[in-house]
Amino acid sequence: MSNRAMIKPCSRLLPWFAIALLLLCATEVVAQTTPSAEAPPPDSNFPDTTQQTTPEKTFKVNVNLVSMYFTVRDKHNGLIPTLSKSDCSIYEDGQLQTIKNFSAETDLPLTLGILLDTSGSQTNVLPLEQQSGSRFLHQIMRPKDQAFVVTFDVDVDLAQDFTNNVDELTRALDRAQINTAGGNGAGGIPGIGQGPFPTQGTPKGTLLYDAVAEASKDKLSMTTGRKALILLTDGEDEGSITKPDQAIEAAQKANAIIYVILIADRGFYNGYTFGYTGAAQMRKIADATGGRVIDVGNNGRKLQDAFDEIERELRTQYLASYTPTNNKTDGTYRKVKIVCKGDGLKVQARKGYYAIAGSE
């Protein structure tokens, strides 16, 4: 039966009955248009008084929150894993800050970049680096971690993009070859696991600083949380457009810790222990970012031990965060110092950060 047939009889009823029926129909209409308890609330023209300013404040705090990852050693150089918030103080540009959050972090996701020197000076030590690097990745990588591999010589090449697959990372290390002539056969599209990072000018020698800057800007700046670059190199740079201070700035803006494993082909330097001058610059880069330099010469056992030390440090870190009293996000560099109470305790942390909105 159609709706039209149902409505027709109502027009023939007595007026009083029609009025009663009309009221009844109106009640049904109201009932049909009243939202159920499960339905979303209707639109309103009234101001929404339920919206408070708290979310906005929370957002602003998150934008300005500075996070510091650091490790602490005792006077015997042993790692200290048991400190609490009350044991440590943070100073920014000499001003004491209020620590909001403090925790010992062992299982936070870790993002790693392995930067492998494949210039001519590494000819005799590259197999050691490949073997020890593979062992390190198998030991340190956990389900939520990710890593990438970059080789640098006369070019800067992304050998393997971000992945949690240790076998793929190991294969990238194994494929690395010494390149002294401006091309190691790497082709493909940059950024998807093959091909070079863009470089300017005529590359030559060892583009170490370019590699640090490109890995920091193009890879690590896109991620959050704990981040570290591990450089396997003799520390010599030849031909980078990037200056050492610019490489440090790029790493600090990405909140990346830099560890440098100094490994040298002694034969390439005519047998001299330090026939090169890169060690001092490597210490400057590592110190500024909260990492350190480990010199292993060309000793395979020392190289494995160096990787083991780095793994222990990355798994024995503290995370402290604070909202700086200077809340301007003006891009300026702020010096940060962390002090922890205890007999001869030494704090290893980055030396500062750039006050950029949204930075960690």
Q: What are phi and psi of 196, to 5 degrees?
A: -85, 150
Residue 199: the pLDDT is 46
Q: How far is CA 343 from the centre of its chain?
A: 32
Q: Which two tokens stand for residue 100?
A: 């909001």
Residue 194: the pLDDT is 40
Residue 337 host element (H or E): strand 333-340
- Hey, what's the torsion of the CAs at 304, 309, 315, 319, to 10 degrees? -140
Q: Which two tokens stand for residue 206?
A: 């060892």
Residue 276: the pLDDT is 55
Please list the residues that pair with 68 across neighbouring strands. 320
Question: How far, CA to CA in Å, does 30 sit from each of 26, 34, 54, 266, 318?
Answer: 6, 6, 38, 91, 61
Whose CA is closest to 250, among 222, 277, 283? 222
Q: Which two tokens stand for residue 271?
A: 């047998």
Sheet-wide strand order for 95-97: 95-97, 88-92, 333-340, 352-354
- Cα–Cα distance between 354 and 289 in angstroms, integer? 12
Burial class (CB in 10 A: 0-12, 13-18, 19+), 7: exposed
Residue 13: the pLDDT is 37
Question: Looking at domain 110-315, what is its CATH homologous superfamily?
Answer: von Willebrand factor, type A domain (3.40.50.410)
Q: Domain boundaries in the chain? A: 7-33, 63-106+318-354, 110-315
Tokens 């009025």 belong to 19
Q: Indicate the pTM of the whole model.
A: 0.76
pLDDT tens for the 360 residues of the chain, in order:
444 334 344 444 344 444 444 444 444 444 444 444 444 444 434 334 344 433 333 223 344 889 999 999 999 999 999 999 999 999 999 999 999 999 998 878 999 999 999 999 899 999 999 999 999 999 999 999 999 999 999 999 999 999 999 999 999 999 999 998 644 433 333 333 344 444 444 445 899 999 999 999 999 999 988 999 999 999 999 999 999 999 999 999 999 999 999 998 765 555 554 445 688 999 999 999 999 999 999 999 999 999 999 999 999 999 999 999 999 999 999 999 999 999 999 999 999 999 987 656
